[in-house]
Amino acid sequence: MHPRTAQRRSNLRPIRQASTNHLDSRSRPQDAQGKAALDHANAHGWIINLNTAPNPVKQSAEHLLTLKGYAQKSLRKERTITLTAEGLHIRGTITDEDLIERVTPEILSTGAWNGKNFRAYDVAINVPRRHHGRSHFVTEAIDYIRRIWLDMGFVEMHGTMTQSAFWNMDALFIPQDHPAREEQDTFYIDSKHDPKLPKELMQKIRAVHETGKGTGSKGWGGTWSEEEASQHLLRTHTTVLSAQTLARLRQTDLPAKFFSLGKVYRNEALDWKHLFEFHQVEGIVIDPNANLRHLKGYLQAFYQKMGFTKVRMRPGHFPYTEPSVEPEVYHPERKEWIEMGGAGIFRPEVTTPLLGSPTPVLAWGLGMERIITAYYGIQDLRELYSNDLQQIRTMKRWTRT
């Protein structure tokens, strides 16, 4: 390049004299020749125009993003936070005053509270929920039902869940060929244990089954089997306790009233309205003057305390009661009558061998689960025992009065 060309003759002196390698407004050429020289230098890469040059930091960041695992791109957003009306209210209650937050034994004993103010407590404020231990809601209902009968003067009966067929079936005049005694309906236990049946009572039961001796009936006929009666099983109803209680009573103990509330077992298919393990509310009233009107009165009093105002009795049939009825209650939400169990007056074939006389005995066996589902708003009986912690924590408490 000739030393006298415009590019060579550009005013480069200010560049050399600049304190840095950057051209500021004072060192930029102002004449036409200087501008031409600057354009030529820029075109050949001798200088860099910072206004158009790529940002090395930005280039490095973009390059790193292409390398997997070396950098991660994140978006940042600016947000504006403002207090709600409730927040403004709370802010207005905040003070710098030295308030006592908690009352402790030390504050009371030392008198440190004297001359100070206590922080006001807002009893309506939302606080974290604490799930403290509580009884299962079914247990709460059981305790309430038990209290109903105790308040009505009944004595509670107790017994084992495993029984012999003698007490569970034969003592209640259930024939030995009855369908309820088949394995499709009953859980039998394979046991070699001797049930130790009472010999004298067993002979009375045998006679009643075969000939109806002393009861005014013909019995079931055939030959009664002690082996069949000695089988072990899970009790199919708590009425077995009623039979055992009657066998222990004397005429001097009458009149008397008993109840029980316990689990029973049926070999049934599990669905929304059937369980193979459930609770039964059992009751008997032994009184020479007892009649069907009294039975209806007891059941109506019980169901009304359980929240059912409409109760009716429908004729029924059971091997050990005559007459027999099926109590029903009216469900106000479902607008239908619901069958709750069985009831009646024990037949002479039951009371004569057990009590020694055909004294009237009012008896009932009611399904507890069907009684309480209406209160808890449960349609499927299986939900009562689902062990759902959330359900147990949030289920309303039993508050019948």
Q: pLDDT tens for residues 275-333?
A: 889 999 999 999 999 999 999 999 999 999 998 889 999 999 998 999 999 999 998 87
pLDDT at 11 over 90: no
Q: At a CB cut-off of 8 Å and minimum separation 6, what does 346 contact?
A: 284, 320, 321, 360, 361, 363
Distance CA 21, CA 47 (A): 9
Flag whether 90 is in a domain. Answer: no
Flag whether 109 is in a domain. Answer: no
Distance CA 120, CA 366 (A): 53
Q: What is the pLDDT of residue 68?
A: 60
Give the residue with greater pLDDT, 374 vs 201: 201
Q: What is the pLDDT of residue 90?
A: 78
Distance CA 261, CA 156 (A): 8
Flag whether 254 is in a domain. Answer: yes
First to last CA, the chain: 114
Q: Range with the lowest mean pLDDT among 58-62, 139-143, 165-169, 342-346? A: 58-62
Give the residue with greater pLDDT, 158 vs 87: 158
Q: What is the pLDDT of residue 305?
A: 92
pLDDT at 341 over 50: yes
The answer on 147 and 17 residing in a single domain is: no
Flag whether 104 is in a domain. Answer: no
Distance CA 280, CA 364 (A): 10
Angle, CA of 374, 376 and 379, to the nearest 5°: 60
Distance CA 72, CA 126 (A): 41
Q: What mean pLDDT do residues 235-253 have?
A: 95
Q: What mean pLDDT do residues 176-192 have?
A: 84
Please report which confidence band the pLDDT of residue 344 belongs to, taking 50, 70 and 90 as the band edges.
very high
Q: What is the pLDDT of residue 19?
A: 44
β pairing state of 99-100 and 117-118: parallel
Q: Range with the lowest mean pLDDT among 13-17, 172-176, 340-344? A: 13-17
Averaged pLDDT score across all residues of the chain: 84
Q: What mean pLDDT do residues 260-281 have?
A: 90
Exposure string (b/e) for 117-152, b if CB count within 10 Å is 16 or more?
Answer: eeeeeeeeeeeeeeeeeeeebbebbbebbbebbeee
Q: Return the percentage of the chain with pLDDT > 70, whole number.
A: 81
The answer on 302 and 203 residing in a single domain is: yes
How many helices (H) and strands (E) the chain has is answered by: 14, 13
Angle, CA of 1, 8 and 17, to the nearest 5°: 140
Give the residue with greater pLDDT, 98 vs 346: 346
Flag whether 93 is in a domain. Answer: no
Q: Range with the lowest mean pLDDT among 32-46, 47-61, 135-149, 319-333? A: 47-61
Domains of the chain: total:
2
Q: Range with the lowest mean pLDDT among 8-17, 34-43, 53-62, 318-327? A: 8-17
- Would residue 360 be called left, alpha or beta, if left means φ above 0 and alpha means ψ between -120 and 50 degrees? beta
- Would residue 212 be called left, alpha or beta, if left means φ above 0 and alpha means ψ between -120 and 50 degrees? left
Q: What is the pLDDT of residue 1?
A: 47
The answer on 298 and 149 residing in a single domain is: yes
Flag whether 79 is in a domain. Answer: no
Q: Which two tokens stand for residue 357?
A: 């006389």
The answer on 143 and 42 residing in a single domain is: no
Q: What is the maximal distance between C-alpha atoms in the chain?
A: 151
The answer on 19 and 151 residing in a single domain is: no
CB 42 within 8 Å of CB 34: no
Flag whether 381 is in a domain. Answer: yes
Which residue has 């088949």 as its token pair? 182
**Where does residue 370 rank: exposed (0-12), middle (13-18), buried (19+ CB within 10 A)?**
middle
Q: What is the pLDDT of residue 126?
A: 78
CATH of the domain at 282: 3.30.930.10
Give the residue with greater pLDDT, 191 vs 164: 164
Q: At a CB cut-off of 8 Å and minimum separation 6, what does 105 contact?
A: none
The answer on 43 and 147 residing in a single domain is: no
The answer on 174 and 27 residing in a single domain is: no
What would you report as the CA-atom Rg of the chain, rounded to the nearest whole angstrom? 45
CB 344 within 8 Å of CB 314: no
Q: What is the pLDDT of residue 185?
A: 83
Flag whether 88 is in a domain. Answer: no
Q: What mean pLDDT do residues 200-221 have?
A: 94
The answer on 155 and 39 residing in a single domain is: no
Q: What mean pLDDT do residues 223-240 have?
A: 94
Residue 326 has a CB neighbour count (10 Å cut-off) of 17
Q: What is the pLDDT of residue 3?
A: 45
pLDDT at 10 over 50: no
Residue 398 has a CB neighbour count (10 Å cut-off) of 18
Domain span at residue 181 reads: 137-394
